Amino acid sequence: MLAERIKAVKPSATLEITAKAKVLRGQGRDIIGFGAGEPDFDTPEHIKKAAYRAIDEGFVYYTPTVGIPELREAIAEKLNVENKIQCSAENIIVTPGAKQALYEAIMVLVNPGEEVLIPSPYWVSYLPMVQLASGKPVFIPTGVDGEFKLGAEQILERITDKTKLLILNSPCNPTGAVLGREDIKAIADICRDKSIHIISDEIYEYIIYNGKEHVSIGSFPDMEDLTITINGFSKAYSMTGWRLGYASAREDILKAMQRLQAHSVSHPTSFVQKAGFVALTSPESKAQIEKMVRAFDERRKIITERLIEIPEVKCSKPDGTFYVFANFSAYEEDSFRLAEYLLEKAGVACVPGEAFGEECRGYLRLSYALSMEKITEGVERIKRALKNYEVKR
């Protein structure tokens, strides 16, 4: 009865684990959730106030499909100044979340059968989006040396005459890996040479540590036409529920995304766009982001230190995001089974590694967007539970 296009699309493993944790909490169990994909900080007050103000002023009607002019201008300015991407407001579409921008970009670029290169481990929604566009996913495993760095050579090996697109995500969800300037330059050189488009998902750009620099591939010479840069407000400004994101793209791509958006979601909520403008342009936002990133950095150090104290667990300190991707394969290769066990026995919710790529067996993703007390208690529970774990390999 259902359409073919939806049949291959699996439910989101991240949402499933969250739902299971919720059921257990409903039964009165004390569950520590390492599953969350969102900051545990409230949206800063000055951003909330901008939304209240917009509602009070009656800014409650349809807006242009591509977003309100001042927000598009502010995004273009940010991309030029911070990311060194040459663009104007005409190149910007504001979307209900970065997810919608990614979906639109993939839908307007990929023809049935065209190949999309996806470095793996990858964020859970890239694959379903490519499947919905009837594209062919081609994975590039990056975890072989434990560093999760995407090498230019690996891309080159997988390019065929059907390759249309590469999806880049640095800082990366789930691994926290951050690509350096040289890595990105090498990738840009290949894509320019082979005329391969790039979707660069930069949603974690500010959540970066160790003085690492975020580099946008769209800033390299002649790359602005091949690159669709995607970003959003969810992570940097703790605005996950507001649903606000954007894309910067060449005008013909942008116009196509505009058509898709016009006939589907229309545009992001009017007063949310006003709040987004304040988030982007107010100096207060920078201070709030710095405070949040400092807190994440402290938690990052603690969670990695505690995890590697568990015998046989391997986990490198990630350079970005608020996730660690830890290797538990000495205990269990089946990460779904391991996540289930930890939820039942230890009251700890983690996301199974296999949700991010088939080769991520034995891995778990742990988000450290939760209090230091919960982090230490949660890892302690994992350690205790694994002492009794019957190794299945």
Ligand X SMILES: Cc1ncc(COP(=O)(O)O)c(C=O)c1O
Angle between helices 372-387 and 283-309 (to 10 degrees): 20
Contact 229, 218 (CB under 8 A): yes
Among 203, 348, 349, 369, binds ligand X (CB under 6 A): 203
Among 83, 131, 163, 169, binds ligand X (CB under 6 A): 169
Select 240 or 316, whichever has its Cβ closest to ligand X: 240
Binding mask 220-239 for ligand X (x = CB under 6 A): ------------x-x-----
Residue 236: CB minimum distance to ligand X, A: 10
- Residue found under tokens 């969800």: 173
Select 279 or 385, whichever has its Cβ closest to ligand X: 279
CB atoms within 10 A of CB 345: 15
The encoded tokens of residue 215 equal 């580099």
Q: Does 276 bind ligand X (CB under 6 A)?
A: no
Residue 124: CB minimum distance to ligand X, A: 8
CB atoms within 10 A of CB 366: 27
Q: Which residues pair with 247 in a beta bridge?
A: 93, 230
Select 68 or 313, whichever has its Cβ closest to ligand X: 68
Residue 336: CB minimum distance to ligand X, A: 20
State the Cα–Cα distance between residues 183 and 351, nearest whole angstrom. Answer: 28
Q: Does 123 bind ligand X (CB under 6 A)?
A: yes
Residue 24: CB minimum distance to ligand X, A: 23
State the Cα–Cα distance between residues 256 and 259, nearest whole angstrom. Answer: 5
State the Cα–Cα distance between residues 356 and 120, nearest whole angstrom. Answer: 7
Q: What residues contact residue 197 under an 8 Å CB cut-off, 6+ apart? A: 109, 164, 165, 166, 191, 226, 227, 228
Q: Does 43 bind ligand X (CB under 6 A)?
A: no
Q: Does 320 bind ligand X (CB under 6 A)?
A: no
* Secondary structure in 3-state letters for 96-127: CCHHHHHHHHHHHHCCCCCEEEEEECCCCCHH
Among 13, 39, 47, 99, binds ligand X (CB under 6 A): 99
351-352 vs 363-367, strand pairing mode: antiparallel
Residue 384: CB minimum distance to ligand X, A: 30
- The footprint of ligand X on this chain (CB under 6 A) covers a number of residues equal to 13
Q: Does 240 bind ligand X (CB under 6 A)?
A: yes
Instruction: Select the span of 96-104, 296-304, 353-361, 380-388 touching ligand X (CB under 6 A).
Output: 96-104
The encoded tokens of residue 93 equal 């579409």
Instruction: Select the span of 24-32, 95-103, 180-188, 312-320 touching ligand X (CB under 6 A).
Output: 95-103
Residue 198: CB minimum distance to ligand X, A: 15
Q: Does 121 bind ligand X (CB under 6 A)?
A: no
Applying CB under 6 A, which residues contact ligand X? 37, 97-99, 123, 169, 173, 201, 203, 232, 234, 240, 245
